[in-house]
Structure 1
């Protein structure tokens, strides 16, 4: 979904791409599939391999002292780490996401309806069970989504190749055996004004469940 979204190139203030737990653009990440296989058929997560080849890297500055580091494969599998620092030394959360569905709006009303779905207490889609809002808890009937720009890199020259503005909400559901499956619903727009709606399913990873 990201290879078709283009933007201008910008130099970074710090030209070093972060390396997070030894993960960075151009490297392979070896996963422990038992991290999600243990949940069996209850899991909808559409991925079952043990190696990721990272071909693109993204960085999100949350402007509140936190950073989101994103690492992508050719087939849009997303390895994501949240840290308290830009360098990725203080990691607080690691998640693996896989695409479920990608669509393009045909008119403003579709985008308005999609944004409404992002604010709801629950979320579902064709072929999926119900997921409940995970960010901000699910007490309020409506909750405004999170918004941010993501800077994406296709090589290690320290120049931003693409920028994507995203409006997103994270939902989750409990699994048999005490686990949790995540659903990330996204409205994304590049600097050329191209818009798509993305649904990604994910699972949390422990630091011992991957290596690079």
Structure 2
């Protein structure tokens, strides 16, 4: 018991600080300009019903190619995501807010194979949604391997991950009126204890002036 406690303390001391992305970090509130999606009216499926996000968990993904994904979660699984060229998030390249649309658990191998085929397809279809076309890698190829990575998830700011989730995912999109775009993130996620789920999230890109913390 004592070795575990002291081991945790040593790990916390050695861990790099959890990044704050333009003041967004675990334990803070993010304000969103709802016009980012409300301006599209009924043309968008994205329908977040509030303008503030209380961040209760934070995720970090090292893409191993010089890029990082910073994720900030609410208790009801809304996700504020920022992509940057550096771990500290000083050079942001993309900011999006995602809301959960559907979640399911596979019944067996056949379900996982069917989901994998949907992630590889040029077009993603789901009940109650319009078609979305593959955004990552473009939609020229009939099939495309999805992206895989580990996400370190934090419930506090000591810098030590509380859990890790392995994800296999693909990003799809559809055009909205004007210059708008709605995103669909399709994910197979597997916890360290091998629990697997399929997640569909809908997202709207944000400009720098459309959020603050």
Bucket of the pairwise TM-score, normalised by the shorter protein: over 0.9
What are the residue-to-residue correspondences of 1:37-186 with 2, within 5 Å? Answer: 37-186=38-187
Where 1:159 maps in the other structure, the secondary structure is coil
Deviation at 1:39, TM superposition (A): 0.5
Aligned-pair CA distance for 1:123: 0.3
Q: Kindly indicate whether the alpha-carbon contact (under 8 Å) linking 1:46 and 1:100 is maintained by their aligned counterparts in 2.
A: no
How far did 1:14 drift? Answer: 3.7
- How many Å separate the matches in 1 of 2:117 and 2:134? 13
Unaligned 5+ runs, structure 1: 1-8
Aligned 8 A contact 1:46 1:99 in 2: no
1:37-87 alpha-carbon deviations (Å, 9 max, x no partner): 001101001312100000000000000000000000000000000000001
**SS in structure 1 opposite 2:114?**
helix
Larger-Rg structure: 2
Q: Which has the higher contact order (CA 8 A, sep 6+)?
A: 1
* Alignment root-mean-square deviation, CA: 1.3
Deviation (angstroms), 1:178: 2.3
Which TM-score applies when normalising by structure 2?
Answer: 0.93
Q: CA–CA distance in 2 between the matches of 1:39 and 1:11?
A: 47
Q: Give distance in 1, aligned partners of 2:208 and 2:179.
A: 19
> Per-residue deviation at 1:11?
4.0
Instruction: Report what 2:194 is aligned to.
Output: 193
- Looking at structure 2, the residues matched to 85 and 138 of structure 1 have their Cα atoms a distance apart, in angstroms, of 28
Report the count of equivalent residues: 204
Offset of 1:20 from its aligned partner?
A: 0.3
Q: Any idea what SS the aligned residue of 2:119 has?
A: helix
Bigger share in helix:
2
After superposition, give the CA deviation of every residue in 1:10-50 in whole Å (9 maximum; x if it has no partner): 94764310000110000000010001100110100131210
Q: Output the CA distance in 1 between the equivalents of 2:122 and 2:68.
A: 26
What is the TM-score when the length of structure 1 is the normalising length? 0.94
